[in-house]
Structure 1
Amino acid sequence: MQRRHEMPFGAACLDDGRVRFRLWAPAARRVELCLAEEGGRVVLPMAAGPEGWFELVSDRARAGSCYGYRIDGADEVPDPASRFQPRGVHGLSQVVDPRTWSWRDGNWRGRPWEEAVIYEVHVGCFTPPGTLAALNARLDYLVELGVTALELMPLAAFPGRRNWGYDGVLPYAPADCYGAPEDLKLLVESAHQRQLMVLLDVVYNHFGPEGNYLHGYAPHFFTARHQTPWGDALNFAGTASFWVRRFFIENALYWLNEYHFDGLRLDAVHAIHDDSKPHLLVELAQEVRAGCDPERRVHLVLENDANQARYLGRDPAGRPRLYNAQWNDDWHHAAHVLATGETEGYYADYASSPRAQLGRCLSEGFAFQGVPSPFRRGQVRGEPSRELPPAAFVNFLQNHDQVGNRALGERLNRLAAPEAVRALSAVLLLAPSPPLLFMGQEWGATTPFLFFADFGPELARLVSEGRRREFADFAAFATPEQRRLIPDPEALETFAASVLVWDESQSPAGRQWLDFHRRLLALRRREIIPLVARLANGAAGWRTFADRGLQVVWPFGDGKESLVLLANLGPSPAVGPRVGGRLWFALPAVVQDEQLPPWSVRWLVGEDVRL
């Protein structure tokens, strides 16, 4: 089976053996195609068309040919829609014919979103080789763990040889340091053969600071009307915004159809500024729903600090109208404060009532549903989310942001007592919402996940200085001497320290953590997943008790039984309510009526439970 996404730009191999090249360059007067041939470059003029388009169909190019565009006789740039950059973002693009790959997963239609157990991976840090091929060799491990969805941090080509991926500048080209397009297709295919979904993190809110040549010939991609943490916003609503919108919508369809990904996670959509109608997020989701095989299960997930529940609604049949789910930072922040006691930065919003906020997240989705955020200087944050199903929220104790945005990249198990991490893991992995694990979390990895990059010299200096300034307001880094302890993002050692040490998983402590996670995920598969469809949306409730206690109740649609969580999320004993029913998990395993030891968790199906 062949898969090819037809795009209005880039290089496309035609049925007659020729290659069509198209570039949108509205600020250019002249564009030439530069083909690399044996003996040197061949320069061919491209015909100018309406709306700033330049096009050429050539019989001198074929799959594997390397090419660039010369703008107004001066700058030679890569194709912004390049399918591959074999020599990095400053080099020539390569013609790729996706029809040369024969897919062997034709019967794969995906899995229901409610079955998702997500495992987030940075390809470069997951294994010592740091390649797609090395990740492929670990897929059986993920299946045995109980994972059902592999999520890849962004793969779009970025400058240098190491990066988190959020500084990508060529969003159609998988980063060459991880492998070739064929390696990525083999990974997706191999995952599907093991019943694993594969999700891709994509960045539609900015381009990275190095290797983006669009300003020179297509400045219409940007607008000064809105500002983001990365400078001028992308132009999704102003003059000439049509092709900017198409560039990113086509990108979503490209990854889903040509690479057969099962879904996308859209990074930081609160930084997408669009005051037109429909909003880009609405149009993109509608196009994805219409542009993918209706027999496939395709999942779209948001990261959205604004907590806009409007994007997560369901139709009368319970299907997502636009997006399946959102990463739930509220859940993480409340749990983190409970585990560590930290209250600096955005954790200040959760300092006074983290247990209640965790209960609200478990039963209603967001903690902030239209209330002021003290951390944001009183800005009202969020929209009502109570009527949404649990599947609309991806919860987590760790992810790349929450570990890597710390100055020293510490994981939760380096910051909190083991019993606290164990109890919160039991809440996370057995609650109805899809859980997410960050690579190595399951064995209690001690390696940090640090912020790292590989920019050119001047930008590298600015990034290193800016990283240390970023933490000047934190007590632990208040002095220049303390800030010098923060690892340099540009140092190779910083990246190397972030690579997982797999031997840890076979240490006595690693095996205990790994067995714990495997048992919880097996319980989830056996006990929780069959119950999710029975839960009544908008009917869950919560209450706190005995200072440290939390009770959450998810009624079933028949009104007779409920899924019940009883937890003591603190270091001292508590007395909980009496709940009758079938107990199917307890931590610790010995249960003494209503007595709840420190950091204890119980899950049961209760009868006639009322709050």
Structure 2
Amino acid sequence: MSHFAFGPIIHEQGVLFRLWAPLQEKIGLRIDDGPLLPMTAADGGWRILDVKDAGAGTRYRFVLEDGLEIPDPASRHQPDGLKGPSEVVDPSHYLWRTPDWRGRPWEDSVVYELHVGAFTPEGTFKSAAAKLPYLADLGVTVIQLMPLAEFPGRWGWGYDGVLHYAPYSGYGAPDDLKAFVDEAHRHGLSVMLDVVYNHFGPDGNYMGLYAPLFTERHHTPWGAGINYDDTDSKLVRDYVIQNAIYWIDEFRMDGLRLDAVHAIDDTSDEHLLAELARRVRAAAGDRIVHLVVENEHNDPTLLERDATGMPLAYTAQWNDDIHHALHVAATGETVGYYADYQALPQDLGRALTEGFIYQGQEMPYRGSTRGGASAHLPAQAFIAFIQNHDQIGNRAFGDRLVDFAEDNALSAISAIYLLSPQIPMLFMGEEWASARPFPYFCDFDDDLNQKVREGRGKEMSRLPGFEPEHADKIPDPTSEETFLSAKVDWEECADDLAGNSLDFYKTLLAIRREKVIPLLKQTLQTASYQTEATRLDVSWRYDNAVLSLSVNLGADAVPAREETRGDILWRSHRDTDGLRAPWSVIWTIEAA
């Protein structure tokens, strides 16, 4: 018997179909192209029907009172896409080759974010699995997949998912995703999935017609808020929380990254985020599972630890503050939200030692306060990066740092974030300095596509990288050409320039594995920084060693604070006697 309340249940005689539809008087079920079968009303607004001889592979739709045929909101597979019939899947069909995998400690993590559809020419789970030996050799330990919940169209980022239990059919069948996770575990790699619970995609979302999915109590940039705290909200909460458990349980994901949790409004006694973390961790049992948030509010309470240092709810947060500081340092860009990150090198020192730069202060560009005190949290509560899907895709042309940052500056910020005690995250292709863009792309119906084009056009002039003289060349987010331009070019990886960058990343990740990660398993005693002109000196004191960084974030040489002490882990070799050269970076370690 399935322990999930949503979706069909396979049993010896057939399949029990069920749908929560309290807003409809009657619901029908259509198997394949057969006759309409009336479903039976059950307590709480449920409709159920037991169909003999149905089983794995059976395709079906629910039929509303007005005759509209819809997929199962808890469909496990949509072989013909979002608006086609749902297919019954037997969760026991796949035989795992790594049944004893229990996960990896968070301190070991080097995260690699990828989009399945753009990671390989084929854009499938199977083709992505073929690249796993490469990723293991690179030195990453965690693969973070951009959202997979079935979304509309032939391409998309995945953040407009509609059927949250069905892996996107364009990438392959559910067993193909399981095989990807299985193969990753065989190579010692964890797999995390990006999930979106702050809104549901607009195209192909029928759930509001038959269930109280939305509430006017809250509003979001996407419209009415999701009903997490209004009348009949319990099953809406269960739909989402059980979905989180489903990915951990049936697909053996090693964790989840929750998108834009600041947009989840909930006035319940136990906030949805707290209940989700509690129930997911309980369901995981003895497996190591990591929960990560994206949170524009920089709320440190989500990241609190118990007396042993274990997360009470969420393991870590994407640290936009450190990204913004590193980006401004390397590029000099101050457009948009980057305007609030010009206090270098002080901002970067604070981000490296305390996590958040803004801990309750007013942000001039934002026009409001942001964040809370975070210095008491371990460095591993923060994920550092210089590129990700958002920060590249939020540029007018989706261009990467390699296109507009000087080589020395880019190497410097790479060396900073890859060896810092915070958890580093790479974006696919970054390691070989890929110049392929990653613009926003989607494929909705004609009406929504036009609205996206118009909205993107209005917003372009405010995005980084916008140049008025090139406005007519901005990519159409709904075109196939834009999607294809985002596909990783693996031939790039073979040229000499890429080889130099790839060796650079491999070297730094090997140093991290051998020297930095052992420190993260100790207790951090103190973290401090000093600045002079454009020079930044940072120290982290652990139980038996001190990790130190000295970097010049400017284009002119500056005096070094003192003689280099301890063993040099890595240096850029651009220093002269007594001076810290432009974009010079030195990492050292010495006994405490």
- Range class of TM-score, shorter chain: over 0.9
Tell me the SS of whatever aligns to 2:80.
coil
Paired residue type of 2:357 = A
Q: Look up the match of 1:388.
A: 377
Paired residue type of 2:116 = V
Q: Look up the match of 1:243.
A: 235
Q: Normalised by the size of structure 1, how large is the TM-score?
A: 0.94
Q: CA deviation at 1:382?
A: 0.4
Q: Could you say if the C-alpha distance between residues 6 and 594 of structure 1 is closer, same or farther in structure 2, counting changes exceeding 3 Å?
A: farther
Distance 2:216 2:335 in 1: 32
Q: Look up the match of 1:278.
A: 270
Q: Could you say if the C-alpha distance between residues 478 and 145 of structure 1 is closer, same or farther in structure 2, counting changes exceeding 3 Å?
A: closer
Matched, 1:568 2:568: no
Matching residue within 217, 224, 249 for 1:225: 217
Distance 1:528 1:253 in 2: 32
Matched, 1:554 2:540: yes
Q: CA deviation at 1:581?
A: 3.1
Distance 1:227 1:79 in 2: 26
Q: Could you say if the C-alpha distance between residues 594 and 115 of structure 1 is closer, same or farther in structure 2, counting changes exceeding 3 Å?
A: farther
Q: CA deviation at 1:535?
A: 3.9
Matching residue within 560, 582, 586 for 1:598: 582
Q: CA deviation at 1:318?
A: 1.1
Asked whether the 8 Å contact 1:565–1:602 carries over to 2, the reply is yes
Q: Look up the match of 2:283.
A: 291
Distance 1:355 1:370 in 2: 20
Q: CA deviation at 1:5?
A: 6.0
Q: Could you say if the C-alpha distance between residues 262 and 603 of structure 1 is closer, same or farther in structure 2, counting changes exceeding 3 Å?
A: same
Distance 2:586 2:485 in 1: 37
Tell me the SS of whatever aligns to 1:502.
coil
Distance 1:229 1:373 in 2: 21
Encode CA deviations 1:461-483: one digit per residue, 9 max, x unaligned. Answer: 1111111111234697586x753
Cα RMSD (Å) = 1.5
Q: Normalised by the size of structure 2, how large is the TM-score?
A: 0.97
Asked whether the 8 Å contact 1:9–1:21 carries over to 2, the reply is no
Q: CA deviation at 1:414?
A: 0.8
Q: CA deviation at 1:606?
A: 3.9
Matched, 1:8 2:37: no
Q: CA deviation at 1:83?
A: 0.5
Matched, 1:20 2:16: yes
Encode CA deviations 1:24-70: one digit per residue, 9 max, x unaligned. Answer: 1110000111100xxx3232211112221111121142100000101
Q: Look up the match of 1:77.
A: 70
Identity of aligned residues (%): 48
Q: Look up the match of 1:58.
A: 51
Q: CA deviation at 1:146?
A: 0.3
Q: Look up the match of 1:532.
A: 520
Q: Look up the match of 2:498.
A: 510
Q: CA deviation at 1:17?
A: 3.5
Q: Look up the match of 1:584.
A: 568
Q: How does 1:380-529 map to 2 (within 5 A)?
A: 380-473=369-462, 477=466, 482-529=470-517
Matched, 1:364 2:354: yes
When structure 1 is superposed on structure 2, of 50-59 and 439-448 the one drifting more is: 50-59
Asked whether the 8 Å contact 1:394–1:433 carries over to 2, the reply is yes
Q: Look up the match of 2:130.
A: 137
Q: CA deviation at 1:580?
A: 5.3
Asked whether the 8 Å contact 1:5–1:254 carries over to 2, the reply is no
Aligned residues: 592
Matching residue within 305, 308, 311 for 2:302: 311
Asked whether the 8 Å contact 2:2–2:9 carries over to 1, the reply is no
When structure 1 is superposed on structure 2, of 522-531 and 481-490 the one drifting more is: 481-490
Matching residue within 367, 374, 377 for 2:364: 374
Encode CA deviations 1:198-229: one digit per residue, 9 max, x unaligned. Answer: 000000001111010012111x1111222111
Q: Could you say if the C-alpha distance between residues 283 and 566 of structure 1 is closer, same or farther in structure 2, counting changes exceeding 3 Å?
A: same
Q: CA deviation at 1:575?
A: 1.3
Distance 1:474 1:83 in 2: 38
Distance 1:122 1:453 in 2: 13
Q: CA deviation at 1:187?
A: 0.2
Paired residue type of 1:522 = A
Distance 2:522 2:227 in 1: 44
Distance 2:391 2:550 in 1: 26
Matching residue within 98, 113, 128 for 2:121: 128
Q: Could you say if the C-alpha distance between residues 445 and 5 of structure 1 is closer, same or farther in structure 2, counting changes exceeding 3 Å?
A: farther
Encode CA deviations 1:69-97: one digit per residue, 9 max, x unaligned. Answer: 01115111100000010111111100001
Distance 1:299 1:458 in 2: 39
Paired residue type of 2:266 = D
Asked whether the 8 Å contact 2:396–2:464 carries over to 1, the reply is no
Tell me the SS of whatever aligns to 1:111.
coil
Asked whether the 8 Å contact 1:113–1:299 carries over to 2, the reply is yes
Matched, 1:259 2:247: no
Matching residue within 237, 254, 261 for 1:269: 261
Distance 2:575 2:588 in 1: 12
Asked whether the 8 Å contact 2:112–2:144 carries over to 1, the reply is yes
Q: CA deviation at 1:584?
A: 2.3
Encode CA deviations 1:542-566: one digit per residue, 9 max, x unaligned. Answer: 1211x111111111135xx421111
Distance 2:451 2:470 in 1: 19
Asked whether the 8 Å contact 1:133–1:183 carries over to 2, the reply is yes
Q: Look up the match of 1:210.
A: 203
Distance 2:348 2:50 in 1: 58
Asked whether the 8 Å contact 1:5–1:253 carries over to 2, the reply is no
Matched, 1:340 2:331: yes
Distance 1:579 1:527 in 2: 21
Tell me the SS of whatever aligns to 1:10.
coil
Encode CA deviations 1:497-518: one digit per residue, 9 max, x unaligned. Answer: 1111111111110000000000
Asked whether the 8 Å contact 1:581–1:607 carries over to 2, the reply is no
Structure 1 residue ranges without an equivalent (≥5)? none
Distance 1:459 1:522 in 2: 46
